[in-house]
Amino acid sequence: MIKDILFTMIAVFNYVVLIYFTTLNIWYFVLNIIAYRGLKSYLVRLKLVSPNDKILMNSAPPVTLLTPAFNESQNCVKSIKSQLKIKYPDMRILFINDGSTDDTLAKMLTTFKMEPAFLPKVSKLETRDVKQIYQSQIYPKLWLIDKENGKKADALNVGINYCQTPLFCAIDNDSMLEEDSIARVVVPFIEDVRTIVSGGIIRIANGCEFENGHIQKVDLPKNIWARFQVMEYLRAFYGGRLAWDKLDASLIVSGAFGVFRHSIVVAAGGYLHETIGEDMELIVRLHKYCGDNHIPYKIRYLPDPIAWTEGPTTLKTLGKQRDRWQRGLLDSVMRHISILFRPKYKKVGMLAMPFYFIYEMIGPFIEVTGYIAFLLFLLTGNASTSFIVVFLLVSIVMGMCLSVFTLVLEEISFHRYPKFKHMVNLIFIAIIENLGYRQLNSWWRIKGTWSYMRKNQSWY
Amino acid sequence: MHNEIHPFDGYKKLKKKHSIRFLFYLEEYVDLLKGKEKERLLTLGRLSLKNVYRFLRSRDKGKIVYGIHLIGIFHPEEQYKFLMINSNDMNMTLTAIREMHAVDDIHIKEQLIRILFKLPNISYIYISNLLVEMGSDIVPFLRQIIENRFTAPNEQMIAIETVRRLRNMDCLDLSEIILNRAQDPGVLSCWLRYLEDQKDSQQLDLIHPFIEHPNPQVRTAAIRVYLTLSDKLTAEDIVKIFNDSNIMVPINAAEIIEKSSTFPYLSTGSIEELKWKDIYKEILI
């Protein structure tokens, strides 16, 4: 009797999982179609209006690059040298040394011949104390703020306080921007006065060749985990963010590369200190702030401004990164849960937040328990052939199709992986990532959720 | 297409002559050639215009804009006929207008300016950039806007900014009208920037009251222009400037003083390092 009830429960749950996978795939399919349409019109526009266009760049607003760094002795000089080569009419660089305990500060001061200088504080976000401000004697546009340690959000807030330009670009110290990335990413600000945030695509730098911080040759990483991430990033940026941008409901602009309107970020209170996912939290808060104050706004994502970043190469570090991302996501959604299903916040409240809530927060639990239930169903001989076929189709084969579709989007648009073998490799990755890697990701996200529930705020 | 191939050799090698691809090919060379060679190339291009009209009749917005782009190379006077204003896709409309900015007809330019002014949410500076590219012959039209459109401050701002960037002095005589009648802070600060650029010291008396304007943007612009045009500062003025509640006011004042050869040197850093009395002493002694 109990056995029968148990089997019935498993069977019912299996059908729930089936419905979950089906709706998830339909969602992704719709998002991919929207992304395709968006990409098509963007490419037409790009052919007619290049980012170096005279008319656009005549009015290029000044931008400050905010680069927070903590113990980045190995990367800091390379990273700043790469930023100095960015082609943009009016750009300043603000390197924020967040109380590093290694020789980051000494390296910066000597390499760029930095001397104490004065920079007026233009906003008053609450931060840890600033010790000293320096300006480079070789590159006058390069500034350094030495401050007490207070984590990334605090360092960014210090940068915002001393940012003298109407726009600022938050980037990670290990991100390498392409020469025209800033020129491309500020276009929405020039064209549309409502734009408050604009973000670009992040691509995996592993395997690529760089010279003086600039990409020379694009190649796929040798490391299998980094290869999975190439596919993952392509799918997230092409299939996901591009579509959400077209729907005017972007909830994430990567912390590794995003340009913000200074005034609105200050008005909304800057980055939040006590969160692990400060980038997503800020975007959700900006949606809320603009919605509450009836400010017309646009948060944009563009597929062609590129920042290259090194992805984790070991299972352990990758797992920790995903754990952190999940905690950040949960924190951002839970802090602003009041947006959920509120028509006042338009598509963000009615579409994007419910999507993230159901598929990104609860989804991993349904997926992992679903696989377990399916195995139980299979092992006990209760699963019919048609059920097995449908389950595998919606849980795995559809995922493969969506990944391959993302590759099609990459091929018809920017085609950054030039060789035929790159495409063959990526198609192979698109297929095999659904047979283990995706499930592993779900497991890391469950772990992340568990850590979040235990109020773990650590970076690692 | 390869830059080393001569356009006519390239033309011979093309399988589908008079195709859209051919037009794109020609486009690369049209601006590089002069005189008869350019004319020959344009004549060859006109042979494939029927393909362009196919683009212009398409329902695809992208193809229409392409069509407008291509026809602009060979028959620029026809571009305006195909401009479609699509309120659902401002970007496409704007792109189409961009394609036409170089048209050599003042009436069409005026029409384009009117359309640009009606487009919502396009940044003023971007519109002004387009207007600058249209050239100085639009200045009389812009002057009319500056003089009469007090009910549309956005249009006035764009017009003033454009005249400023065209370095045109024909509108300076409107100073009294603008500074007395304009209420919008954006218009006032734009006009003050124009005066700063033109270095017209006749206007000092008109500018002085704006140093105390309630809007910080106007105050900043007024102080910049006042300090640029005059080396006479009263102690009261200095107190007001360097004790201003908005940090951008003293920063801008210090920047101008730093550049000035008539004032004693005062670094931007002094804003925080010195009290206003010290600044006063440094400047006046």
pLDDT exceeds cutoff 50 at A364: yes
Q: Rounded mean pLDDT of chain A?
A: 90
pLDDT exceeds cutoff 90 at A225: yes
pLDDT exceeds cutoff 80 at A379: yes
| Nearest residue of chain A to residue B272 (CA atoms) | A120
Mean predicted confidence (pLDDT) in B71-88: 71
Do B216 and B249 meet the contact criterion of CB atoms below 8 Å apart?
Answer: yes
Mean predicted confidence (pLDDT) in A341-358: 93
Mean predicted confidence (pLDDT) in B120-141: 90
**Predicted confidence band of residue A460 (pLDDT cuts 50, 70, 90):** very low
Distance from CA of A294 to the nearest CA of B (A): 15
Q: Rounded mean pLDDT of chain B?
A: 80
**Residues in chain B whose beta carbon is closer than 8 A to a beta carbon of chain A?**
61-62, 65-66, 69, 89-92, 94-95, 98-99, 101, 121-126, 128-130, 132-133, 247-248, 251, 267-269, 271-273
Mean predicted confidence (pLDDT) in A314-339: 93
Cα-to-chain-centroid distance, residue B278: 41
Q: Is the ipTM of this complex over 0.85?
A: no
pLDDT at B285: 44
Which of A59, A120, A194 is the closest to B129 by Cβ?
Answer: A59
pLDDT at B41: 75
Distance CA A14, CA A63 (A): 52
pLDDT at B62: 75
Mean predicted confidence (pLDDT) in A271-293: 93
What digits encode the pLDDT tens for the residues B203-240? Answer: 888 898 998 899 999 999 999 998 888 877 666 777 77
CB contact under 8 A, B121 and A44: no
pLDDT at B1: 44
Distance CA A393, CA A387 (A): 10
Lowest mean pLDDT among A316-325, B12-21, B97-106, B114-123: B12-21
SS3 A205: coil
Mean predicted confidence (pLDDT) in A64-89: 92
Residues of B in contact with A192 (CB under 8 A): 90, 121-123
SS3 A146: strand
Residues of B in contact with A121 (CB under 8 A): 247
Q: Which of residues 120-139 of A touch B (CB under 8 A)?
A: 120-122
User: What percent of chain A is modeled with pLDDT above 90?
Assistant: 64
pLDDT at A288: 95
Residues of B in contact with A117 (CB under 8 A): 269
**Predicted confidence band of residue A54 (pLDDT cuts 50, 70, 90):** confident
Distance from CA of B153 to the nearest CA of A (A): 16
Mean predicted confidence (pLDDT) in B82-88: 63
User: Bigger pLDDT: A344 or B255?
Assistant: A344
User: What percent of chain A is modeled with pLDDT above 70?
Assistant: 99
CB neighbours of residue A48 within 10 Å: 17
What digits encode the pLDDT tens for the residues A155-168? Answer: 999 999 999 999 99
**Predicted confidence band of residue B271 (pLDDT cuts 50, 70, 90):** low
Mean predicted confidence (pLDDT) in A40-52: 80
pLDDT at B158: 95
Mean predicted confidence (pLDDT) in A118-142: 92
**Predicted confidence band of residue A387 (pLDDT cuts 50, 70, 90):** confident
Domains and CATH numbers, chain A: 60-310 (3.90.550.10)
Q: Does A412 touch chain B (CB under 8 A)?
A: no
pLDDT at B3: 54
CA distances to A356, A401, A414, A441, B124 from A29, in Å: 16, 9, 21, 20, 38
Mean predicted confidence (pLDDT) in A394-399: 86
Q: Which residues of A314-325 are buried (b: 16+ CB within 10 A; e: fewer)?
A: eeeebbbbbbbb
Do A31 and A243 meet the contact criterion of CB atoms below 8 Å apart?
Answer: yes
Mean predicted confidence (pLDDT) in A20-30: 90
Residues of A in contact with B251 (CB under 8 A): 120
